[in-house]
Amino acid sequence: MILNIPFSDIVFYFVAVFMVLLSIAAVSSKNVLRSAIFLIASFLGTAILYLLLKAEFMAMAQIMLYVGGVVVFIIFAILLTSHLGENKLSTPISQKFLAVFLALTLLGVMAKFLFNTKELSESITQKSPEASSLIAYGERLLSYAPNGFVLPFEIISILLFMTLVVAITIAKKDNKEEK
Amino acid sequence: MTLLHCLILAFILFTIGIFGVLTNRHLIGMLISIEIMLNAANINFVAFAYFKAQDPTAGTLFSIFSIAITACEMAVALAILIAMYRKHHSLDVNTQEINHE
């Protein structure tokens, strides 16, 4: 364990720098397809971070749902809508400065409250290995106990179904009107 | 790697997302920025569940719900994008009002 801590720290800082740089690249890239690729790499970095935080199931869900689902949605949307070589939408430089100012102000305010909170720097409870196992998640998700999550689970399933119907309806509606 | 470091990373990512939403004119670019912000929120959930929580399983399950809602949001967003593209043949958010008339 003592040998383990510095190595995981090094990996954490490396992944953190990597993620910040890739997110900046994803946000500021002119080509939308390229920024989707940067987004994939940033999400993979997040999955490594979840592995470091001993949430293996979250890392799997991150890779399967974000990289395999959400980014594929985005790439589909790009391929369906943009002509290649279009992406030349430039923002005025004043708006960029204003955005940097607002974002940095928000970061400053959040950091001010963060550094004033003393309890954050010490970590008290360490996770037991069983807490993040797949069995623990499954039992918690489907238990009827007061601390179980079966009701949100059902609501999420209904929401997913509704989303499918709504997405098909919205995407199809214009087609009828044109005819 | 303490809780503070994870929170700082999440805040920086959230700030980058806000910068992207404010500067991007392409609708898909704005969606990508929103994804980065949601991802930062998930990192917060998992970090608190690892370092502080009495009940780490529940803390991590919250971010699973948040990921599922993100997938729903992206499906609807894709449908809206396609409908908008059919009408306006552009995804530039600044010119939508002009094209509408």
Nearest to A91 among B17, B23, B63 (CB): B23
Q: Which ipTM did the prediction report?
A: 0.88
Do A23 and B92 lie within an 8 Å CB cutoff?
no
Q: What is the dihedral of CA A100, A25, A79, A66, to 10 degrees?
A: -100
Report the domain count for chain A: 2
Expressed in angstroms, the distance from the first to the final Cα of chain B is 55
Q: Taking a C-beta distance cutoff of 8 angstroms, is the pair A124, B43 a contact?
A: no
pLDDT above 70 (res A176): no
Range scoring the smallest mean pLDDT among A12-26, A124-138, A154-168, B48-62: A124-138
Fold for the domain defined by B3-100: Helix Hairpins (1.10.287)
The predicted structure's pLDDT at residue A15: 92
The predicted structure's pLDDT at residue B99: 47
By CB atoms closer than 10 A (0-12, 13-18, 19+), residue A129 is exposed
Nearest to A81 among B35, B70, B85 (CB): B85
Do B13 and A123 lie within an 8 Å CB cutoff?
no
Do B67 and A62 lie within an 8 Å CB cutoff?
yes
Per the structure, the complete domain to which residue A11 belongs is given by 1-84
Per-residue pLDDT averaged across B61-78, rounded?
89
- Give, in degrees to the nearest 5, the angle at Cα B42 between B17 and A54: 135
A78 & A136 share domain: no
Tell me, yes or no, whether A159 lies in a domain.
Answer: yes
Do B1 and A12 lie within an 8 Å CB cutoff?
yes
Per-residue pLDDT averaged across B1-16, rounded?
89
Q: Rounded distance, CA A87 to CA B11, Å?
A: 29
Band of pLDDT at residue A140, cut at 50, 70 and 90: confident
B73 to chain A: closest CA residue: A163
Tell me, yes or no, whether A58 lies in a domain.
Answer: yes
Mark which of A26, A59, A84 sits at the end of a domain.
Answer: A84
Q: Model confidence over A19-73: pLDDT tens digits?
A: 999 999 999 888 888 899 999 999 999 999 999 888 888 898 889 988 888 888 8
